[in-house]
Amino acid sequence: MEIEEEKGTEDAVKDKSLRQPGSVKPTPNIIEEVFSPEDPDSKQMEREALNRRNAWEPSAFYSLGKETFFFTGKEISIRESLDSYGAVIWPGAVALCKYLEKNREQIDLMDKAVLELGAGTGLVSIVTSLLGAWVTATDLPDVLNNLNFNLSRNTRGRCRYTPQTAALNWGQDVTRHFPTTVYRYDYVLCADVVYHHDFLENLLITMKHFCKPGTILLWANKVRFQSDLCFTETFKNAFNTTLLEEIPHEEVRIYQATAK
């Protein structure tokens, strides 16, 4: 699908984002080039990259409404919005991306089915796709337009599998919309999904639903509130957990969990 401009991107993916995700992994893409030369988004990203080659830049480039990261040897441009928490990149997402990139041998995502809960801007799903996984990125319906835009812009022509998106509300309805007889995943990823909100119980229900025997759940989170610590204890009681990494200066912890 050719994308003429950002608005066109949003309109083109709006209907698709409301459908149930595919449950059968497709045939891997044949990747002939990083981006199509005719694609206007590609040209824009190439111009941005060329401009930055002439000056030293840190690993993340900050500007109004956009952040640029470098993972798996690729430049990733993320469009943010201040409309909701889900449209902003949080420290847990960056930490999880770094961990996945650094530990490719221990966590081999090639050809794995991966689900992300609370995908937000899509950074984790993009990096996971670049590492060879078949990704389903989920979040609330009002987040999906920006999520779709970022996924399409940063994975088209680059990834073994085209990532898909789906609306997902945490809680009891997840059993009806995502029956485990149909939807099973090798990995479930969560980044900064725990903060000061009223849906922690529903989040745990959703984690348990998807984290069945044979599934590995990876959860990265910045510790901000006492409620975060309380949830962590509940999480540890619900799963077999291992603290994979702690980043003191970021106050971020990364856990691995499997079903009890």
Per-residue pLDDT of 7-49, as tens digits, reads 434 443 444 434 689 888 888 887 754 444 445 544 544 444 4
Tell me the pTM.
0.80
Domains of the chain by start residue, with CATH: 66-259 (3.40.50.150)
Sequence-distant (6+) residues with CB within 8 A of 12 are 1, 3
**How far, in Å, CA of 260 to CA of 238, rounded?**
7
Per-residue pLDDT of 168-189, as tens digits, reads 999 989 999 999 999 999 999 9
Q: What is the mean pLDDT of residues 191-195?
A: 92
Cα 256 → chain centroid? 16
**How far, in Å, CA of 78 to CA of 255, rounded?**
25
